[in-house]
Amino acid sequence: MLDFRVITTQEELTAYCQAAQKQSYLMMDTEFIRDQRRSPALGLIQLNDGQNIALVDPLNIDDLSPLWSLMEEEGLLKVLHSCSEDLEAIRAVSGKMPTPLFDTQVAANFLGEGPSLGYGFLVEKHLGVSLSKEEARTDWLARPLTDAQLKYAAADVLYLLDIFLKQKALLEEKELLDYVLAEGALITQKKSREIPLSCLYFDVKNSWQLKPRELAILRELAIWREELSREIDLTPSVIVKEHNLSLIAQRRPGNEKSLRNIPGLMSDRLHKYTKEVLACVERGKDVPPEHCPPVVSRLIEYPDYKKTLKHLKHMIQECAKALNIPETAIASKKQINQLIAYFWQLNPEVRHQEWKKPDLLHGWRYEVAGRVLEKEMTHDET
């Protein structure tokens, strides 16, 4: 029988958190609505401390500070599955991160089950339980929630405990637990990281097609879009899509008519912000030539890219064999490309910025593989 309680008062939350603080593990999940919002809107927080399952209703409790304090309790391991969006939702409301963190999806990868297994798959494979998907599209901001919705939410942390305990035992046996915990620390660190506004343009799609002057305009547009996104709580792409940012930078419109003549542009919300967009264009035009960003090159355009990618992948395979873990636990293709781009596309002055440092040069990855990969890449520079 699935036994849980719904917490809707400050007193109930405080009592649960005080009891949970005495435990060793806290299973966590969240239900939220995103839609076009920049920040996910929390509708429910599910907790399982091994003794009791609680569904915390953040819409009915004004002060969630006991829970946010629990998030940072070092003696309490927080366990989530595929936690990226959960962390965003929690941070948006509290400014906190659950630490220390154990992600069961990460653990499954270290145990050779694949890099992106869903929670339902793990539960069915290891516990023989098939989870219902009927409430997956629930509006978690609506009230009251039905019994079926509450049971669906509670199941997410009920079985998470059993999955975690099985994984923990296997990881300890293989001497891999510390790596999974270190990966949890890196995940929270990256989710807390802020990219400098002046560098946002670098990752805009099609930025590689632009000339330095156009990149100066794109830089201004990317800064404006990000600041507006934060102000009105809409995802940046809802305000204006990335490919349209590049089009504006290329066309360099000098007036509202020219801006409106760019194909497909006004399908975005830009009709409200034509003056602001044109001001961005003018600021970009006024940047002295020597201060315009350099051209953004694509990795595929480097003659040695494919050869280097293959060579680094082979080195990572050797490191993975030594640890008896899948190579995907050390690095995906995306993470290898991060490393190559770091050395090939960034000058030494930019490399010192922490937000640009690739995963392979952080923490446990650096110790098991990144150090030798770094030597290989810096050798190629000399």
Choosing from 49, 57, 103, 156, the catalytic residue is: 156
C-alpha distances out from residue 203 to 196, 316, 326, Å: 12, 26, 29
Structure tokens belonging to residue 159: 């079985």
CB 41 within 8 A of CB 33: yes
Active site residue 103: no
Q: Please report, as a single letter, which amino acid is at residue 98.
A: P
> Of 16, 31, 304, 256, nearest to 141 (Cα)?
31
Choosing from 49, 57, 86, 103, the catalytic residue is: 86
SS3 call for 186: helix
Cross-sheet strand order for the sheet of 41-48? 5-7, 53-56, 41-48, 25-33, 77-80, 101-103
Strands 25-33 and 41-48: antiparallel
Identify how many contiguous H helices and E strands the chain contains and give both numbers.
18, 6
Residues in the chain: 382
CB 98 within 8 A of CB 45: no
Active site residue 159: no
Choosing from 16, 152, 179, 342, the catalytic residue is: 152
Q: What one-character DSSP code corresponds to residue 146?
A: P
Chain-centre distance for alpha carbon 181: 17
Active site residue 201: no
d(CA 49, CA 79): 10
Active site residue 152: yes
d(CA 166, CA 169): 5
d(CA 123, CA 82): 14
Termini Cα distance of the chain: 65
Choosing from 16, 25, 29, 57, the catalytic residue is: 29
Choosing from 16, 25, 31, 49, the catalytic residue is: 31
Active site residue 3: no
d(CA 215, CA 211): 6
By annotation, the residues acting in catalysis are 29, 31, 86, 152, 156
